[in-house]
A and B are shown apart, each in its own frame.
Chain A
Amino acid sequence: MQLKRKQSSLWPLLLLLSALVVAAPAMAGSDAEAPDRPSTDHADTQKKPSSRSPSDPNPLVDTATESAAIEMAAYDDTDHVTVFTPSIALGVENVNGGSLHANYLVDVVSAASVDIVSTASRRWQEVRHAGSLSGAYKPHDFGVEIGGSVSNEPDYLSWGGHALLTKDFDEKNWSLYLGYGFSRDTIGRCGGLNDGCTPFSVFSRDLLRNSIEGGADFVIDPASLGSLSADVVLESGDQSKPYRYVPMFSPEVAPTVAKGASVDWVNQNRNFERPLEQLPLSRRRYAITGRYARRIGSTTLRLEERLYDDSWGLAASSTDLRWVFEFGRRFALWPHGRFHVQKSVVFWKRAYVSGLGWDLPEYRTGDRELGPLWTVQGGLGVKWYVGHRENPEAWAFTLTGDEMYTAFLDDLYVKQRGAVLGSLGFEGQF
């Protein structure tokens, strides 16, 4: 993360997106049978007539279904990190099996977390832009997809691509897929005396990532779907944060460092040297994910379990549950719960010990997400379908809110973190 001071504000963009969310139904006109409801004359997915003359015996028919979605999300936590994320997604799908999707989002991050305070730095703000584009073609039971993505912020550039093959079997009762992805990140550094950024040509680190994912989707019975997937990610490069300084302690003091020890206590009792974080230069990640969805009356139960292990010794389990209740064809509401638990990487220590003469541990980190922790999350989501009565699901508002609590089990500075995440979205097909 860069330490640059506040830059130009994106509030005008955020306000514009918010206005679009509110105004979109009104722009669609009104429904004659429900004047208080937005019209969705363009929302059905029937084939649209062409602009040719009615006398044309073979009129062109637009068989494409276009879609668009915008979302405004906000995140805030007790560690003084705030993020606003407006995003937009566009898509077009044709009955011949071709499709094209594009996404763009902006992260506006403002942070004064304890990590920043502990280094006597000031609150910083930065903006990240991320976009992706993908195209797929699946005329029958075999399909192929390719795509690319790019993410940019002043001190970090990431770009990558992926390819995916899918094949349906047994009248689409089950499908297999296999994908490969590659990305290259360039990690730089901002801040310092002039508050500027060091050019990548002067200082940067590269992180290469190769990933393979394969799995299957299958119909279990007339009311249930399932999927099972595995992914392997191979990372190569130095992903140590160039801003993260790790306090060192003498062998006598280290055992006395308490969980959640304050910034002041650490600064009074640590050794003079405070080196930068150093992580291993390669990492292999493995994960297995299972998903289950079952239709029960007018409700849908969705379960997901992800098991994770990596070459740094971090192992984890993430369990996610949603139960969607539908009220007529206009409303859906779902409670959401999630529980994540992980053990630390093997080189994790609450208090690292350094010896005389800059004798440091080979690997050292202060990244709490590499330590032992558990997180419980709960929230609600609501979807309001505002499409035409023949196809109400063609247009929809979505409102979600989640609260998260994380317990850090063996960390300096903090023992817990609370966070809230909310989003408002609007999507449509036309």
Chain B
Amino acid sequence: MTARTFWVPVFSVGLFSLCTGCAHVAAYDRGRLARPMMTQDLEGPAAQHVLAVHEGATGGGSLSESGCGCN
């Protein structure tokens, strides 16, 4: 079994479980979830670019393919 044939069912089962298995939280009870630090992007564009260049596995977007300073 290759990694891909392993990941597809794992991802599907995980996604289904997470979407259906979580408790229903009413809107008035989501105060803590609304804190900016829960979802705010704490990484600027430069940091994302550095990771895309440093990690051969991170790429895929156009940012990772140009301007890397890696000759």
A, B: real partners: yes
Question: Which residue of B33, B44, B61 contacts A223 across the interface (Cβ within 8 Å)?
Answer: B33
Contact string against A for B residues 6-32, beta-carbon threshold 8 Å, 1 for contact and 0 otherwise:
010011001100110011111101101
| Residue A322 CB within 8 A of the other chain | yes
Contact string against B for A residues 235-258, beta-carbon threshold 8 Å, 1 for contact and 0 otherwise:
100010101100000000000000
Question: Which residue of B24, B63, B70 contacts A113 across the interface (Cβ within 8 Å)?
Answer: B70
| Residue A220 CB within 8 A of the other chain | yes
Please state if A228 and B54 are interface contacts (CB–CB under 8 Å). Answer: no
| Residue A75 CB within 8 A of the other chain | yes
| Residue A303 CB within 8 A of the other chain | no
Q: How far is the CA of A235 from the CA of B60 in the complex (A)?
A: 8
Please state if A105 and B45 are interface contacts (CB–CB under 8 Å). Answer: yes
Would A334 and B56 be within 8 Å (CB), given that A183-B62, A219-B33, A315-B3 are in contact? no
Please state if A316 and B56 are interface contacts (CB–CB under 8 Å). Answer: yes
Q: How far is the CA of A332 from the CA of B37 in the complex (A)?
A: 9
Inter-chain contacts of B29 with A (CB < 8 A):
222
Please state if B22 and A221 are interface contacts (CB–CB under 8 Å). Answer: yes
Please state if B60 and A340 are interface contacts (CB–CB under 8 Å). Answer: no
Inter-chain contacts of B68 with A (CB < 8 A):
1, 109
- CB nearest to A308 among chain B residues: B57
- Size category of the B interface is 35 or more
| Residue A363 CB within 8 A of the other chain | no
Please state if A219 and B30 are interface contacts (CB–CB under 8 Å). Answer: yes
Q: How far is the CA of A87 from the CA of B3 in the complex (A)?
A: 38
Inter-chain contacts of B36 with A (CB < 8 A):
393
Q: How far is the CA of A377 from the CA of B19 in the complex (A)?
A: 32
Inter-chain contacts of A64 with B (CB < 8 A):
none
Q: How far is the CA of A404 from the CA of B46 in the complex (A)?
A: 14
Please state if B18 and A73 are interface contacts (CB–CB under 8 Å). Answer: no
Q: How far is the CA of A215 from the CA of B14 in the complex (A)?
A: 11
| Residue A402 CB within 8 A of the other chain | yes
Please state if A171 and B55 are interface contacts (CB–CB under 8 Å). Answer: no
Q: How far is the CA of A423 from the CA of B42 in the complex (A)?
A: 11
| Residue A166 CB within 8 A of the other chain | no
| Residue A230 CB within 8 A of the other chain | yes
Would A225 and B44 be within 8 Å (CB), given that A128-B66, A369-B70 are in contact? no
- Size category of the A interface is 35 or more
- CB nearest to B65 among chain A residues: A185
Q: How far is the CA of A169 from the CA of B18 in the complex (A)?
A: 13
Please state if B66 and A185 are interface contacts (CB–CB under 8 Å). Answer: yes
Please state if B7 and A113 are interface contacts (CB–CB under 8 Å). Answer: no
- CB nearest to B43 among chain A residues: A400
Would A71 and B44 be within 8 Å (CB), given that A107-B67, A314-B56, A404-B54 are in contact? yes
Inter-chain contacts of A209 with B (CB < 8 A):
60, 62
| Residue A211 CB within 8 A of the other chain | yes
Please state if B32 and A369 are interface contacts (CB–CB under 8 Å). Answer: no
Would A153 and B18 be within 8 Å (CB), given that A241-B71, A309-B3 are in contact? no
**Chain A's nearest CB lies how many Å from the CB of B26?**
7
Please state if A218 and B19 are interface contacts (CB–CB under 8 Å). Answer: yes
Would A87 and B22 be within 8 Å (CB), given that A185-B65, A300-B38, A367-B70 are in contact? no
Q: How far is the CA of A349 from the CA of B56 in the complex (A)?
A: 16
Would A225 and B60 be within 8 Å (CB), given that A87-B44, A174-B19, A218-B18 are in contact? no
Question: Which residue of B24, B32, B47, B49 contacts A170 across the interface (Cβ within 8 Å)?
Answer: B24
Question: Which residue of A1, A83, A219 contacts B25 across the interface (Cβ within 8 Å)?
Answer: A219
Q: How far is the CA of A250 from the CA of B60 in the complex (A)?
A: 35
Q: Choose, from A9-17, A50-58, A285-293, the stretch at the interface.
A: A285-293
**Chain A's nearest CB lies how many Å from the CB of B3?**
5
Inter-chain contacts of A308 with B (CB < 8 A):
57-58
Question: Which residue of B22, B62, B70 contacts A185 across the interface (Cβ within 8 Å)?
Answer: B62
**Chain A's nearest CB lies how many Å from the CB of B45?**
5
Inter-chain contacts of A226 with B (CB < 8 A):
18, 22
Please state if A367 and B56 are interface contacts (CB–CB under 8 Å). Answer: yes
Q: How far is the CA of A70 from the CA of B65 in the complex (A)?
A: 23
**Chain A's nearest CB lies how many Å from the CB of B57?**
3
Which B residues are closer than 8 A to A by beta carbons?
Answer: 3-4, 7, 10-11, 14-15, 18-19, 22-27, 29-30, 32-33, 35-39, 42, 44-47, 49-50, 53-63, 65-71
A-B contacts, 20 listed (Cβ < 8 Å): A87-B44, A111-B70, A111-B71, A126-B67, A156-B67, A174-B22, A207-B65, A221-B23, A221-B25, A222-B29, A224-B33, A288-B11, A300-B35, A306-B57, A318-B55, A340-B55, A342-B57, A398-B44, A419-B54, A421-B46
